[in-house]
Amino acid sequence: MTVEFNIPKNLEQDKYFKVSIRIRELYGYAPLLHEFGKEPVAISQVHLSELGITDENTHQRVLAILAAIAVFDENYWSSENHKIATGSKDSILTDEYFEEFIISRYSKKHRNVRLLTHPEEIFLSKMINSTAFDPETSEKAAQIMIEANLGLVLFVARKYENNRLNIPLEDLVQEGTIGLIKAVQKYDHTLGKRFSTYASIWVRQAILRYIKSNGRLIKFPEDITHLYFRIRRSEEKLFQHLGSTNITDEEIAEDLGISVNTIRFIRESVQKPTSLDKPLEINGKDNNDITLGETVRDTNSNIDYEISHKDFRRSIREYLLTLAKNENQARKTKYDFSKREIAVLLLRSGSLIGEDVSFSNDKEYLQYISDLNLDIPLPSNPNELDEVDINLFRKIYEREGLTLEEIAKIFGVTRERIRQNESTGFKKMRKQLNRIRIILSDPLYRIC
């Protein structure tokens, strides 16, 4: 025995499946009508004997199988005006197309499942929450309840369609459907309420939560958003009771039972951000030449420190270059710099080229480096530089610090040798600075 619609294989393999199908052929779903608010049709004793139903437990099991079959019977649940909402192949995916698709899919005349009666809602709710049915049967029952109430989602979503945030209708419907799914899972038929009354609360809550959480460029935690709307409602209530527009934070805090500092924190947090590229209004007109960002002070920057640091680097550079010019003289101590040590320190810090120096061609640039008297290997002709050398000298020109490997390539030595030159240079520089510090602290120097 087969049926004209798809059912799970485990249901077909049940030993009472054929008996349930036979009862369906003889009586339809009449034995289940007590679940749908009508008096059930009793199965005759003759048929019970023929089908081998001899005790009450077997009778209830057969009715349970029949109920599972009823869930998968699409013809029983489908609407007479059922139409499948599909788009044309040539449809353009615009906002208007998606809105039209949503409306056609959720409207009454295009729904897959007809509206349910209250007994049918109870019947499906029992199948969803009962452990006597397999998960696939329970999911099918939940699907029927969801599809039968899609019109409720569209009805509630349309109330919030013209919101001040311009959220599309399809987004509201999608969030409302999520709320509907939760309502199906939590519906308790023993409360005596229709499912639509219960589900409308979940649908409205899901839509409002989506509007609140997506209404700003910077999203806030749900508790902050909820508290902000509580403050707004308290202001409206106090305005109606007191008749004054000057509602203070103290009055709101007393009404809500929270601190004044919390209210002030919430007000500061939910302020709308302003673009720094926004043109300033001068005499009531926008001035595109001046933006808000140009008038805002950067509190994180320290101009005095940047200037002093820049002057310090310039002084160190001039001091090292002066030492390089005097390097040909007899070195008196072991703390005097060599030209390579000076060159390594300047190349590592990106200070080899002066800040206010510019060149008209490559020859002037290479001649400038040669005049520094640091014995840096240079080609006689700029055209002899390969691509790697060009990138190295470009970084020097742009005042970028070089790595140890890049400096080693310029001098034709190993990376370790350049590291030793750098380490020795730093030691000598610290020694020189300590000598200067001692001289400046000498009382005789102060008198002079």
Q: What is the CA radius of gyration of the chain?
A: 42
d(CA 296, CA 293): 5
d(CA 308, CA 223): 48
Topology match between the domains 9-213 and 222-269: no
pTM of the model: 0.49
Cβ distance 324 to 342 under 8 Å? yes
d(CA 407, CA 344): 7
Q: If you write DSSP's letter for every residue of 140-199 in order, what string do you get?
A: HHHHHHHHHTHHHHHHHHHHTTT-TT---HHHHHHHHHHHHHHHHHH--GGG---HHHHH
- What pLDDT is stored for residue 86 in this prediction? 37
Tokens of 140: 């099918």
Phi, psi of 279 (to 5 degrees): -65, 145
Cβ distance 202 to 152 under 8 Å? no
Query: pLDDT, tens digit, for every residue of 128-172?
Result: 887 777 788 888 888 888 888 888 888 888 888 776 566 778 888
- What pLDDT is stored for residue 445 in this prediction? 43
Cβ distance 121 to 145 under 8 Å? yes
- What pLDDT is stored for residue 28 in this prediction? 74
- What is the signed CA dihedral for 345, 351, 353, 355, rounded to 10 degrees? -160
d(CA 252, CA 248): 7
**Closest by Cα among 306, 305, 310 to 351:** 310
- What pLDDT is stored for residue 179 in this prediction? 93
CATH topology for 222-269 is Arc Repressor Mutant, subunit A (1.10.10)
Query: pLDDT, tens digit, for every residue of 255-313?
Result: 888 898 998 888 887 777 777 777 777 666 666 667 777 777 666 666 555 555 667 67
Residues pairing with 279 in the sheet: 291
Buried b (16+ CB within 10 A) or exposed e, 138-161: bebbbbbbbbbbbbbbbbbbeebe
d(CA 374, CA 368): 11
Residues of the chain with pLDDT under 70: 1-5, 33-40, 79-112, 163-166, 215-217, 282-289, 297-310, 312, 325-335, 380-388, 435-448
CATH code of the domain made up of 9-213:
1.10.1740.10
Ranges of each domain in the chain:
9-213, 222-269, 306-447
